[in-house]
A = this chain, B = another copy of it.
Amino acid sequence: MTETASYDLQCLGVSKNYGAVRAVRDVSFDIPNGSFFSILGPSGCGKTTLMRMIAGFEEPSAGDIRIKDRSVLNTPPNRRNVKMVFQHLALFPMMNVYENIAYGLRCNRMSKAEIERRVSDVLARIELPDVADREIHQLSGGQKQRIAIARCMVLDPDVLLLDEPLGALDLKLREAMKIELKLLQHQFNTTFIYITHDQSEALVMSDYVAIMNAGRFEQIGTPQELYHKPKTAFVAGFVGDANRWPCRVVEAFGTTLRVETEIGLPLTGVACGRNPPMQAGAHGELFVRPEFIRAERVRTDGSPERAGPLNVIPGIIDSQLFNGAKSRVLVRGPQGMRIEADVTLTGGEEDLRPGEKVELSWPAEQTRCFAAAGSATGADPGAEPA
């Protein structure tokens, strides 16, 4: 978020209460022109509510929403140049494809010829030039998806909102549409705001992602920032997979911590999250991603050489989850503690097998420690409904 020029969309301290339910709390952000911005968060965290305020279907309880630097609080939804792709698309079943796309143009009282030109233009751009006369129910899921986007894009919106548009599609199609959506956004070069609770969708497609939890934005950043430099425990746990262990800080050297897990296992990690850094005795939670954990057969000829500070623990393979390039083993560590580690399984002799003893090791800098909720320096991002 470095750009300082004009913004397509800005939210300033936006909140929304439904009676006692605080659905959205003091959310502020601004989106640079032409970027793909995702809002990622668990179900019920307020994503839809925020989007509906931007579209004008709800009025914020507090705060301001600006589109192209002008407040739109007093603009009714049909006057805002913010278009929306609904979760179930909301294509009009009683109109055919052409009429669906032409609807918005007709509302603008455009001439017939002009409408025709624009519709065929947008259909060409979404690579469905021949479907104009089809009925909606004659389209496949992916085609419907694209028509819903075309219906908005033909109106040249300042911002396009997409509320979990892939939710209704099946697995394979969803994978394909992820890449397609990103390409479409490049095509139109319009600001997309994309809502989802599926992290892989958000990470793969977005320029920027906001992680939302219980009505608040926890962190905004590029996908890499969120994945590799999470600022809160919630983000660390929500984005990507992670082994999570509660722990207690034994000693702190700057941000480097010596900690002990619940079962007394001593590990080295780095303090993350909000300042000030954690002190000895503080309670925290450790996050380690499976892909950073190396699982190696215990060798009889002494341990291998290692570079840098490492955490090393022994374990026994419980089971392997073969999934091609994304395979994983479940390892039982000391005192039954369960650890997931990514491995490559080739089907050959060298594969780890259930029952084998292994040594697990991972770098200390990939052992993130966040203050526990309620602890001295920890922030509590939990919900307080009512």
> Hey, which bits of chain A sit against chain B, CB under 8 A?
171-172, 179, 182, 197-200, 203-204, 222-225, 227-229, 239-241, 289-291, 319, 321-326, 342, 344-348, 351
Contacts and interface: CB of A to CB of B under 8 A. Distances in A.
Contacts of A325: 240-241, 289-291, 326, 342
Given A228-B348, A229-B347, A241-B324, 7 more contacts: A224-B351, A239-B324, A240-B324, A241-B325, A289-B324, A289-B325, A325-B342
B322 A204 contact: yes
CB-CB nearest 9 A-B residue pairs: A224-B347, A291-B325, A240-B324, A228-B347, A223-B322, A204-B321, A227-B324, A203-B323, A200-B323
B347 A227 contact: yes
A204 B320 CA distance: 8
B227 A182 contact: no
Contacts of A197: 171-172
Contacts of A289: 324-325
Given A321-B179, A321-B204, A345 B198 contact: no
A224 B349 CA distance: 12
Contacts of A239: 324
Chain B CB count within 10 A is highest, among A222, A344, A347, for A347
Given A289-B324, A325-B289, A346 B224 contact: yes
Nearest to A242: B324
A291 B197 CA distance: 27
A71 to B, nearest CB: 34
B346 A228 contact: yes
Given A171-B198, A228-B347, A182 B322 contact: no
B225 A324 contact: no
Contacts of A200: 323, 326
A36 to B, nearest CB: 11
A323 B204 contact: yes
A344 B325 CA distance: 13
Contacts of A229: 347
Contacts of A321: 179, 204
